[in-house]
Amino acid sequence: MRFSRYFLPVLKENPSEAQIVSHRLMLRAGMIKQASAGIYSWLPLGFKVLRKIENIVHEEQQRAGHMPMLMPTIQSADLWRESGRYDAFGAEMLRIKDRHDRDMLFTPTAEELITDIFRTHVGSYKDLPLTVYQIQWKFRDEIRPRFGVMRGREFYMKDGYNFDLNKADALHAYNRHLVSYLRTYERMGLKAIPMRADSGAMGGDNTHEFLVLAETGESEVFYDNSVIALTFGDREIDYDNVEQCAGVLDEFTNLYARTDETHDEALFAAVPEERRRVARGIEVGQIFYFGTKYSEALNAVVQGPDGKLSPVHMGSHGIGVSRLLGAIIEANHDDKGIIWPEGVTPFHCGIINLKQGDEEADAACDAIYNSMTALGLEPLYDDRKERAGGKFATMDLIGIPWRITIGPRGLKNGIVELTSRRTGESEELSPESAVQKVISIYANM
Ligand code: 5CA
pLDDT, tens only, 422-437: 999 999 999 999 999 9
CB 396 within 8 A of CB 369: no
Q: Tell me, using a 6 A CB cutoff, whether residue 112 lines ligand 1.
A: no
Which residue has the least CA distance to atom 12 on ligand 1? Answer: 318
At 15 the pLDDT is 92
Mean pLDDT in residue range 23-44: 98
At 213 the pLDDT is 97
**Where do the structural domains in the chain lie, given as residue ranges?**
10-338, 349-442
Tell me which CATH homologous superfamily contains domain 349-442.
Answer: Anticodon-binding domain (3.40.50.800)
| Partners of 156 in beta bridges | 137
pLDDT in tens, 204-219: 778 999 999 999 999 9
Q: Tell me, using a 6 A CB cutoff, whether residue 83 lines ligand 1.
A: no
Dihedrals φ, ψ of 311, to 5°?
-65, 140
- 133: number of Cβ within 10 Å: 27
Q: Is the pLDDT score of 76 beyond 90?
A: yes
Alpha-carbon distances of 412 from 97, 282, 383, 406, 415, rounded to whole Å: 69, 49, 20, 11, 8
Which residue has the least CA distance to atom 11 on ligand 1? Answer: 318
Q: How far is the CA of 34 from the centre of ligand 1 (A)?
A: 20
Q: Is the pLDDT score of 350 beyond 80?
A: yes
Q: Tell me, using a 6 A CB cutoff, whether residue 403 lines ligand 1.
A: no
- Taking the alpha carbons at both ends of the chain, their separation in whole angstroms is 20
Q: How far is the CA of 283 from the centre of ligand 1 (A)?
A: 8
Sign of the dihedral defined by the CA atoms of residues 233, 237, 243, 249, in that order: positive
Confidence band (pLDDT; 50, 70, 90) for 340?
A: very high
Mean pLDDT in residue range 325-353: 98
Contacts of 35 (CB under 8 A, 6+ apart): 41
Q: Is the pLDDT score of 189 beyond 90?
A: yes
At 317 the pLDDT is 98
pLDDT in tens, 243-287: 999 999 999 999 999 999 999 999 999 999 999 999 999 999 999
Mutate to test the pocket of ligand 1, among 157, 174, 190 (most ligand atoms within 8 A of CB): 157
At 198 the pLDDT is 87
Mean pLDDT in residue range 223-239: 96
User: In angstroms, rounded to a whole number, what is the distance separating the alpha carbons of residues 282 and 338?
Assistant: 18
At 278 the pLDDT is 98
Q: Tell me, using a 6 A CB cutoff, whether residue 40 lines ligand 1.
A: no
Q: Tell me, using a 6 A CB cutoff, whether residue 157 lines ligand 1.
A: yes
Q: Tell me, using a 6 A CB cutoff, whether residue 142 lines ligand 1.
A: yes
Q: How far is the CA of 319 from the centre of ligand 1 (A)?
A: 6
Mean pLDDT in residue range 88-105: 97
At 7 the pLDDT is 98
Q: Is the pLDDT score of 62 beyond 80?
A: yes
The average confidence (pLDDT) of the chain is 96
Confidence band (pLDDT; 50, 70, 90) for 199?
A: confident
- Ligand 1 atom with the smallest distance to the CA of 140 is 25
Mutate to test the pocket of ligand 1, among 131, 174, 286 (most ligand atoms within 8 A of CB): 286
- 16: number of Cβ within 10 Å: 7
User: In angstroms, rounded to a whole number, what is the distance separating the alpha carbons of residues 327 and 214?
Assistant: 8
User: Which residue spans within 148-225 are E strands per DSSP?
Assistant: 154-164, 192-196, 206-213, 219-224
- 2: number of Cβ within 10 Å: 15
| Partners of 81 in beta bridges | none
User: In angstroms, rounded to a whole number, what is the distance separating the alpha carbons of residues 356 and 98?
Assistant: 56
Pick the CATH number of 10-338 from 3.40.50.150, 2.40.10.170, 3.30.2130.10, 3.30.930.10: 3.30.930.10
Among 272, 280, 320, which residue's Cα sits nearest to residue 195?
Answer: 280
Q: Tell me, using a 6 A CB cutoff, whether residue 38 lines ligand 1.
A: no
CB 259 within 8 A of CB 219: yes
Alpha-carbon distances of 245 from 99, 128, 210, rounded to whole Å: 49, 18, 17
User: In angstroms, rounded to a whole number, what is the distance separating the alpha carbons of residues 15 and 27?
Assistant: 7
Confidence band (pLDDT; 50, 70, 90) for 201?
A: confident
- 76: number of Cβ within 10 Å: 16
Give percent of the chain with pLDDT exceeding 90. 97
Mean pLDDT in residue range 348-358: 97
Q: Tell me, using a 6 A CB cutoff, whether residue 286 lines ligand 1.
A: yes
Mean pLDDT in residue range 89-94: 96
Q: Tell me, using a 6 A CB cutoff, whether residue 285 lines ligand 1.
A: yes
Confidence band (pLDDT; 50, 70, 90) for 203?
A: confident
User: In angstroms, rounded to a whole number, what is the distance separating the alpha carbons of residues 265 and 278?
Assistant: 12
pLDDT in tens, 141-180: 999 999 999 999 999 999 999 999 999 999 999 999 999 9
Which residue has the least CA distance to atom 19 on ligand 1? Answer: 320
Q: Is the pLDDT score of 109 beyond 90?
A: yes
Q: How far is the CA of 257 from the centre of ligand 1 (A)?
A: 20
CA angle (5 as vertex; 1, 364 as ends), nearest 5: 55
